[in-house]
């Protein structure tokens, strides 16, 4: 009885929902992969530069599923949100291992382990560098999730 005459809006809404689902799945997979690498290697230094690659890949996933969005900021914010989710998952898995997914009572242990170091800016300058790298991964996801047009 009711027909949708504005097919462009309907297609855009479907692409938006699909980009959210694909971005969240990519965030879970990439965040877990980063956390497993960091947890199993037991390195004292952090390879937070991998988060820039995570942001780049999540931006590409949102762009491909959104079919090359152009100047549409809601797709870019989806990529940023998914990158932040990947960072949180990666830090949790790096701190406590993959058991965090199977034993939810460990979530209470995440806050003191992961976020305690962020308050020690003056004692550990590497914390500031880690935060800058995490912010730049969100920046990478924001600008990589849409197509830029060359104005000539």
Q: Give the per-residue pLDDT at 150.
A: 55
Instruction: Give the mean model confidence (pLDDT) for residues 45-71.
Output: 82
pLDDT at 75: 86
Q: What is the pTM of this model?
A: 0.80
Q: What is the pLDDT of residue 120?
A: 63
Tell me which of 67 and 113 has the higher pLDDT: 67
Mean pLDDT within 13-25: 90
Measured between alpha carbons, how far is residue 44 from residues 41, 110, 126 in Å? Answer: 9, 18, 12
Higher per-residue pLDDT: 40 or 46: 40
pLDDT of residue 111: 65
Residue 92 in this model has a pLDDT that exceeds 90: no
For residue 53, the model assigns a pLDDT of 92
Statement: residue 70 has pLDDT above 80: no
Q: How far apart are the first and last CA of the chain?
A: 47
Average pLDDT of span 122-132: 76
Q: Residue for token digits 């500031």? A: 128
Task: Count Cβ neighbours within 10 Å for each residue of 86-125 and write b for 16 or more, e otherwise.
Answer: bbbbbbbbbbbbeebeeeeebeeebeeebeebeeeeeeee
Q: How confident is the model at residue 82 (pLDDT cuts 50, 70, 90)?
A: very high
Structure tokens given for 8: 């462009």
Residue 112 has pLDDT above 70, yes or no: no
């Amino acid at each position: 009885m009711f027909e949708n005459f504005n097919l462009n809006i309907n297609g855009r809404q479907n692409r938006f929902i699909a980009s959210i689902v694909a971005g969240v799945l990519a965030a879970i997979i990439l965040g877990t992969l980063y956390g497993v690498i960091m947890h199993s290697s037991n390195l004292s230094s952090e390879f937070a530069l991998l988060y820039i690659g995570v942001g780049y890949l999540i931006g590409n996933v949102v762009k491909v599923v959104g079919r090359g969005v152009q100047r549409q900021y809601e797709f870019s914010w989806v990529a940023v949100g998914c990158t932040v989710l990947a960072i949180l998952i990666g830090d949790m898995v790096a701190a406590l291992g993959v058991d965090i997914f199977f034993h939810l009572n460990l979530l209470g242990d995440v806050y003191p382990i992961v976020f305690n170091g962020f308050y020690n800016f003056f004692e550990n300058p590497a914390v500031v560098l880690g935060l800058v790298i995490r912010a730049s991964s969100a920046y990478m996801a924001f600008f990589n999730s849409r197509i830029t047009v060359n104005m000539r």
